Amino acid sequence: MPAAQIVGRRVRPRGRGSSWGGGDIQIIALINFAGALLAFFLAARAITLDRRALRTHRGSWAVLVITTAMLAAVLGVGLFLDQTSAHTGLLWLSTLLETALVISLNLGCFFLYVREHKRVAELFDTAETQSRRSSRLEAILALSDTLRPVRDVQQVVDIAAGAVRDTLAFRECALYLYDQDADVLHTRAALGGDDAYNEVIRERPIPARIVRGVLREEFRHGNVYFVDHATYSWTEEELFYFPPGGFEERVEGGFHPDDALFVPLRGAGGQLLGLFDLYDPEDGRVPSDEALQVLEIFANVTASSLENARYAAELEVRAVTDGLTGLFNHRHFQEALVAEVERGARYGLVFTLLMMDLDLFKNVNDRLGHPRGDDVLRKVAEVVRDVARTSDLAARYGGEEFVMILPGTSTKQAASLAERVAQGVREIVLDVPDPPRLSISIGMADYPACGRDRESLIAAADAALLFAKRTGRDMIADFSEMSLVEFDRSALEGLAFRLEKADIETVETLAAAIDMRDAFNSERAHDVAISAEWVATELGLGDTERSTLHMAALVYDIGKVGIPVDVLNRRGDLSDQDRVVIRKHPEVGKRLLESATRLSALAPIVLHHHERWDGTGYPAGLKGEQIPFEARVIALCDAWQAMVSERPYRAALSSEQAMAELRAGAGKQFDPGLVEVFICGMERKAGAADKPV
């Protein structure tokens, strides 16, 4: 056949042709090719949606992709082949079969693509859910770890409220704690919302009956209560305690301003501990069941930590509380007194210590028995507790002894409070036939006048209590004003025992009080100390020697506490017996100072301050330099002050007369060297005073 004809036959099907012409078939073939490419694209896209599917069904996906690729290739090649030689009917049949195959593959690949897309979306949702669950679980674990070592209730509340609000994304969160005694809930945390309103609700307790009325079974989801506004109408009283917020419903069917979400905190025994109040979620939606479950776990963790914190607080209270009376115990009193001393020293504050002891309490126990005696102690503790101010600390010191620390209070001010305690004890009436009369003796000592540390103040208050007992019981004694107390041997031993831990302020205060007993020598110790200090300066003594001499001069006559007041102030001649009593006061002073551990070095000075240079003094008859140096200085200064002071039975001597008396006594009563130093210093001082300015 000629080439022209062949060419003509090839061209003719592509031309205008008949109704069964090749042009229509060619168009369908092009569409089939495009469909095959689309099927290949869908298959490949379905694979890339989830690589895990490719790994799991690698063979199946390979067959699908290869099949669609080969079909596309075959159809593409067929577009360029000569199809005029084929029978037209067969050509159409082949084309239609190809079309059916392409359509089937597209439908199958589209179905696979949609299925994989949906599965991948579900996987993403699952991953997001797992991530959210994981983050919430981490938040729960973090909260548990954070709260585990916490032993303060308020700290537990603050941490838990913040964690719940932030983890579950609520704009407002409050936590109330239940007060079983008052049957109310107190707001202990309020986060978000209006600050002014939060301050109001912190001061406004919520009656527990209001909460019980809201926590209905119909609102319960596990241990969480969601109050739906669509099914519940709030009462005016409930709205007063749980008012709606100012936001609008942001999502249709979401969290409404009249909705509420409560989560009770319950202890191990099911008892109510508190309540979470969550409001206004950030996404505006009603919390999901999963969120409610997480919230319940948060509540359980918080409740457990609250119980632990309360138990720890209870243990701390028990550790510092007297089991019988409910007052603070001895150990806590000692710690508090140390802290108050430190505070007083730092800020220059005063405070008073009261030491109280029930009078003749042994008789109550012996007559009524110890159970009744315990009742008496509890009643006395109630009196002390009722009288104490908010800032005061009341404790049981031991046995029938009680103590109080009164911050910012002098003994003058404390006296009225002490009297109220004494009166309250007097008014206690026991429910027994012929009840015994109760009374209490009280000793007072203030900081810093009576002592500058814990031991000294206790020693002073205890000594004052002894004074109160010695003056007839049912008395209030101020340590700094003990001027008329009579002490026998046993009382002096008791005083010495109480002064064991005393410091110089305590002993100086006692010595000053004793000076007040002597009508002829009031405040003389202070004047002697000034003179002794002046002598130390003249002699050029070092700081240690000056300090010892000064302290000894302040307390040298402390032994006069053992001299009866009438003997001490007698104007006429003394009897031999009176002289014996008076001459014992250096030994009494020595015993008192020896008992005061920190002042025992002063004991020899006080013992020998009445010795004479010629050996005719008392109590040991020491001579010359056998007498302690400080005792010789004090003897000289004491004599000087006695001569230049007014006495009821004679006028004061002039300085010249007194110096003449000292010279006359030099080598006999006084150390002659000290006399010369003293007189030369006095003359130089007088000359300086007379010199014109």
Mean pLDDT of 674-688: 83
Distance CA 614, CA 667 (A): 7
Which of 543 and 33 is assigned the larger pLDDT? 543
Backbone angles phi, psi at 675, to 5 degrees: -60, -45
Place of tokens 């004074």: 467
Report the alpha-carbon distance of residue 352 to residue 448 in Å, rounded.
9
| Run of H or E including 266 | strand 260-266
d(CA 272, CA 211): 11
Name, in order, each residue with C-beta under 8 angstroms of 574's C-beta and a sequence gap of 6 or more.
567, 582
Residue 26 contacts residue 33 (beta carbons within 8 Å): no
Report d(CA 411, CA 416) in Å as an integer: 9
Tell me the two tokens of residue 387: 């009288």
Domain(s) labelled CATH 1.10.3210.10 in the chain stretch across 502-693
> Binning pLDDT at 50, 70 and 90, where does residue 76 land?
low
pLDDT digits (tens, 9 = 90+) for 353-374: 999 999 999 999 999 999 999 9
Integer distance in angstroms from the first to the last C-alpha of the chain?
A: 160
Write the DSSP assignment of 209-259 as a string of letters. Answer: HHHHHHS-GGGEETTEEEE-TTT----HHHHHHS---S----STTS--TT-
In the DSSP assignment, the letter for residue 691 is S
CA torsion sign for 404, 407, 412, 413 is negative
Cα 506 to chain center, whole Å? 33
Q: Specify the pLDDT at position 525.
A: 77
The pLDDT of 230-238, averaged and rounded, is: 92
d(CA 248, CA 455): 67
Here the tokens at position 51 are 């690589």
CATH code of the domain made up of 322-482 = 3.30.70.270
- What is the Cα–Cα distance from 226 to 220, expressed in whole angstroms? 7
Give ranges for CATH 3.30.450.40 in the chain: 149-318
Half-sphere exposure of 645 (CA within 13 A, CB side): 17
Q: How many Cβ atoms are within 10 Å of 427's Cβ, its own excluded?
A: 10
Tell me what pLDDT residue 598 has: 76
Token duo for residue 250: 């942001």
**Per DSSP, which regions of 335-400 are E strands?**
351-358, 393-398
Question: Which range is least confidently modeled, 233-247, 383-397, 675-689?
Answer: 675-689
Closest CA to 54 of 63, 273, 661, 402: 63
**Listing from the earlier edge strand, what are the strands of the sheet with 440-447?**
393-398, 401-407, 351-358, 440-447, 476-478
Q: Which has the minimum average pLDDT: 19-23, 132-136, 478-482?
A: 19-23
Which tops the pLDDT comparison, 290 or 474? Answer: 474
Do residues 189 and 198 make contact, with C-beta atoms less than 8 angstroms apart?
no
pLDDT tens digits along 199-210: 888 889 999 999
Q: Which two tokens mark 4? A: 């022209």
Residues of the chain with CATH 3.30.70.270: 322-482
* Superfamily of domain covering 502-693: Hypothetical protein af1432 (1.10.3210.10)
Strand residues in 399-505 grouped as ranges (E): 401-407, 440-447, 476-478
- Distance, in Å, from the CA atom of 587 to the CA atom of 590, rounded to the nearest integer, reads 5
**Spatial contact of 440 and 380, defined as CB atoms under 8 Å apart:** yes
**pLDDT higher at 298 or 484:** 298
3-class DSSP assignment, residue 278: strand
pLDDT at 75 over 70: no
Of 213, 204, 261, 215, give the one whose Cα is nearest residue 236.
Answer: 213
* Crossing angle (nearest 10°) for helices 655-665 and 672-690: 160
Chosen CATH of 149-318 out of 3.90.1150.50, 3.30.450.40, 3.20.20.80, 3.30.390.30: 3.30.450.40
Contact 343, 447 (CB under 8 A): no
Lowest mean pLDDT among 16-25, 281-290, 380-389: 16-25
Contact 478, 464 (CB under 8 A): yes
**Pairwise pLDDT comparison (92 vs 235), residue with the higher score:** 235
Locate all alpha helices (DSSP H) within 441-485, ordered by sequence: 454-470
Averaged pLDDT of the chain: 81
> Is residue 189's pLDDT more than 90?
yes
Q: DSSP readout, 475-486? A: -EEEGGG--S--
pLDDT at 113 over 80: no
In this predicted model, what pLDDT tens digit does every residue of 579-601 receive, in sequence order? Answer: 888 888 899 888 888 877 777 88
Question: What's the CA gap between 442 and 416, in Å, rounded?
Answer: 12
Q: Write out the two tokens for 204.
A: 């406004």
Plot region of 120 (φ>0 → left; ψ -120 to 50 → alpha; else → beta):
alpha
Specify whether the CB–CB gap between 477 and 465 falls below 8 A.
Answer: yes
* pTM for this predicted structure: 0.60
| Cα atoms found within 13 Å of the Cα of residue 394, Cβ hemisphere only | 19
What CA–CA distances, in Å, run from 90 to 44, 77, 385, 527? Answer: 33, 18, 116, 145
User: How large a percentage of the chain has pLDDT more than 70?
Assistant: 75
Q: Which amino acid is at 178?
A: Y
Q: What angle do CA 483, 487, 492 make, to 5 degrees?
A: 115
Q: Which pLDDT tens digit goes with each residue over 147-159? A: 888 888 999 999 9
Neighbours of 419 (CB within 10 A): 13
CB atoms near residue 621 (< 10 Å) = 12
| Residues 609-664: tens digit of each pLDDT | 999 999 999 999 999 999 999 999 999 999 999 898 887 667 889 999 999 999 99
Return the sign of the alpha-carbon dihedral for residues 363, 368, 371, 376.
negative
pLDDT digits (tens, 9 = 90+) for 127-143: 566 666 666 677 777 77
Residue-wise over 233-269: b if at least 16 C-beta within 10 A, else e? ebeeebeebbeebeeeeeeeeebbebbbbbbbbbeee
The Cβ of residue 416 has, within 10 Å, a number of other Cβ atoms equal to: 10
Tokens at residue 532, please? 């002794």
> Rounded to 10 degrees, what is the CA torsion of 407, 410, 415, 418?
20
pLDDT tier at 70, thresholds 50, 70, 90:
low
